[in-house]
Structure 1
Amino acid sequence: MVQPLLCVFPYYIAPGGFGARGSGLRGFILPRLTAARRNCYNTVTTANHAEELMNITELRYLVAIMKWGSVSAAAKQLYAAQPNVSKALKNLEEEYGLRIFERSSTGMIPTEQGKRFIRQAQRVLQQVDELKQEAHQQRSCAELRVVLTHATYASYAAVDFLQQAARSEQLRVHIRESGAIEALDFVLRQGYHIALLRYAAEDEDYYLRYCQRHGLRQEPIMEFSYLLLTSQDSPLARRQVRELDELNDYIEVLHGDTHLPGEESTVSRWQVNPNRRIHVYERCSQFSILQNLPTAYMWSSPMPQRALEQYHLALHNCPAQKQQMRDVLVYPEREPLQPEEQLFVQLLHKQADATIKDSGWKKI
């Protein structure tokens, strides 16, 4: 199979070189650039032209000859065949019509033109090496910036990701919990890559329009009705709540960042006593309150059974609670997900599916 030859303005890299998006290499202009090579800018040439184009290996040979003083010494240091090094030097001198070195009994001495040529070659090689190093670091670095709704299965997916990413040489992970509106702001303005939103089904039109207007793709994860979450020692754990007003004497623990713009955070859509509430913004605090306050409860999505056991909690159906909720993943439509992000999304679906299976609820 013929390998394509990558041409990068304003110099050329033959097969076996490198390529990087947004490399920013500029300013290397060789003397006596031929018309054919000027016409090659921003084009892809086949390997049939490789003999006509300078490649990075030739530049390395050239710099090594200057450093070590002879073709034979350069070949030895580079573990290259001496004829290949000699041929590379000859090709460069013929192609650009200049004499790079003077041959003498004491070795190879660069001419004035040769010195200028080699200085430019050294600058290019330095940039090439920096790009290679950066590309290696990117390959060996697991990077993820994600905003999650207050969902236990999502935090489990994040832990699953970290267990796999821990094998990487570098780890740059930012995991934040927030409400849907704040999560959208983190994706659009604060450099986060993906967000898991939770919103009521009746608010879906608002979020659909918002995401379409801002170029965000939506990926459904879960649909559910809220369940009643309490301590296993709560009086509510021993009976079924059929009407919401049965909860008026209990304390509701709720997320403090779930309302829409312009909507009062104190408004209750479910007609439960608004005078007995605790607003908390972090899941572990909520679980601690439920564990230690038997009269407290909160509305929750389905949870993994191991989390319920860990925090000594119980989930109950409540026939009066008919609020349909949706968990939806969003990310910029024009930017493909990176491998680490794809892995996280796969793990998120896996945890959501397992949680739904345990609880008997359904996926969208």
Structure 2
Amino acid sequence: MNITELRYLVAIMECGSVSAAAKRLYAAQPNVSKALKNLEEEYHLRIFERSSTGMIPTEQGRHFIEQAERVLREVDRLDRSVQEEQERCAELRVMIPHATYASYAAVDYLEQAASIERLHIHIREGGSMEALDHVLRQGYHLALLRYAVEDDEHYTHYCARRGLKMEPIMDFEYSLLTNRDGPLARKAIRDLSELDKYMEILHDDFQLPGEEGGDGVRWHVNPERRIHVYERCSQFSILQRLPTAYMWASPMPRRALEQYHLVLKKCPAQRQQMRDVLVYPDKGRLRPEEQAFVDLLHKEAASTVK
């Protein structure tokens, strides 16, 4: 027995026939007939008598249907209660890379959810391997992975084996991010060695698949002049105060560049192809708060790469 079978049963009684019940519920008639047969066999009773005027419940059938109606009322009450609770409380745990557009999407979601009575939101930044661990072992709902396109096969197989769904967000090439008034803002970099005298900022929690320690980034060129940071506020402060500093960055919203007085430049010497992919457990439909964040993430990504 399941709830759908009980709904079919009550509809048969109210409509007087299997065909009319199927039409009301937008169900296939064979499915409604099979549900009735299943219930009669499971409980060893005859629920309806078939007549030329329609389906007439037996005495046992009438009592059974009354009980089914009580069960359905309780189920509907539970559904309403859960829905009302969801409207009062939002819970969301998200892992994102050090990507400004993703953090903007998170703030957009918080603005959208501000009127909800109870909020339990966790937004954490980190590398792809850490993000996968949080989704698989620490109860996070969503993770935005960032990896080199050449590693796509590794991540695709990894996620498939662990029941994670992948949703593409953005493909891009890293650009050079620097102070708008700094020397690099006016300089075309044709060879990465030209950056040796400048200070590179990098996130120290970026790790490629299979790496044992180290940042694992393939295109850094000057190990003697680096600043390691672990969150984006530090990087923006350094870029504002240190005109000779730079970092490799994904596309950024224009309003962020204006706010921090930065410029994002294409660099012919650095053509690393990158990919941002959202992953989450493949368990059917996303919850409303998860879907809301995903929609905002797509919106921010689309407006950023215009």
In which range does the TM-score fall when normalised by the shorter chain? Answer: 0.7 to 0.9
Is 1:228 the counterpart of 2:176? The answer is yes
> Quick one: structure 1 residues 290 and 220, their matched pair in 2 at CA, closer, same or farther if it must change by over 3 Å?
same
Alpha-carbon distance, 1:148 to partner: 0.6
Is 1:180 the counterpart of 2:128? The answer is yes
Distance 1:345 1:136 in 2: 22
Is 1:202 the counterpart of 2:202? The answer is no
Is 1:39 the counterpart of 2:48? The answer is no
Distance 2:56 2:118 in 1: 36
> For residues 1-364 of structure 1, what are the structure 2 equivalents within 5 Å?
5=6, 39=43, 52=64, 53-54=66-67, 133=81, 136-260=84-208, 261-265=210-214, 269-357=218-306
Alpha-carbon distance, 1:228 to partner: 0.2
**How high is the TM-score relative to the length of structure 2?**
0.75
Identical counterparts, % of pairs = 58
Gaps of 5+ in 2: 9-13, 15-39, 45-54
Question: Which residue type is aligned with residue 159 of structure 1?
Answer: V
Distance 1:187 1:323 in 2: 27
Question: Which residue type is aligned with residue 298 of structure 2?
Answer: H
> Quick one: structure 1 residues 334 and 272, their matched pair in 2 at CA, closer, same or farther if it must change by over 3 Å?
same
SS at match of 2:110: helix
SS at match of 2:151: helix
Alpha-carbon distance, 1:234 to partner: 1.4
Alpha-carbon distance, 1:317 to partner: 1.0
Which region of structure 1 is more displaced relative to structure 2, 255-264 or 320-329?
255-264
> Quick one: structure 1 residues 200 and 137, their matched pair in 2 at CA, closer, same or farther if it must change by over 3 Å?
same
Count of aligned pairs: 260
Match of residue 18 from structure 2: none
**How high is the TM-score relative to the length of structure 1?**
0.64
Alpha-carbon distance, 1:157 to partner: 0.9
Distance 1:253 1:301 in 2: 14
The RMSD of aligned alpha carbons is 3.2
Larger radius of gyration: 1
Alpha-carbon distance, 1:172 to partner: 1.8
Alpha-carbon distance, 1:330 to partner: 0.5
Distance 1:274 1:255 in 2: 13
1:266–1:274 Cα contact (<8 Å) kept: no
1:5–1:47 Cα contact (<8 Å) kept: no
Match of residue 29 from structure 2: none
Alpha-carbon distance, 1:312 to partner: 1.0
SS at match of 1:275: coil
Q: Deviations over 1:2-41 (max 9, x none)?
A: x97469xxxxxxx9xxxxxxxxxxxxxxxxxxxx89828x
Distance 1:275 1:47 in 2: 87
Question: Which residue type is aligned with residue 189 of structure 1?
Answer: R
SS at match of 2:305: helix
Alpha-carbon distance, 1:319 to partner: 0.2
Question: Which residue type is aligned with residue 171 of structure 1?
Answer: L
Which region of structure 1 is more displaced relative to structure 2, 240-249 or 48-57?
48-57
Higher relative CO (CA 8 A, sep ≥ 6), structure 1 or 2?
2
Distance 1:348 1:128 in 2: 33
Gaps of 5+ in 1: 8-14, 16-35, 41-45, 59-124, 358-364
> Quick one: structure 1 residues 191 and 267, their matched pair in 2 at CA, closer, same or farther if it must change by over 3 Å?
closer
Match of residue 50 from structure 2: none
Alpha-carbon distance, 1:220 to partner: 0.7
- Structure 1 consecutive aligned stretches of length 4 or more whose deviation exceeds 2 Å: 3-7, 46-58, 127-136, 260-264
1:244–1:321 Cα contact (<8 Å) kept: yes
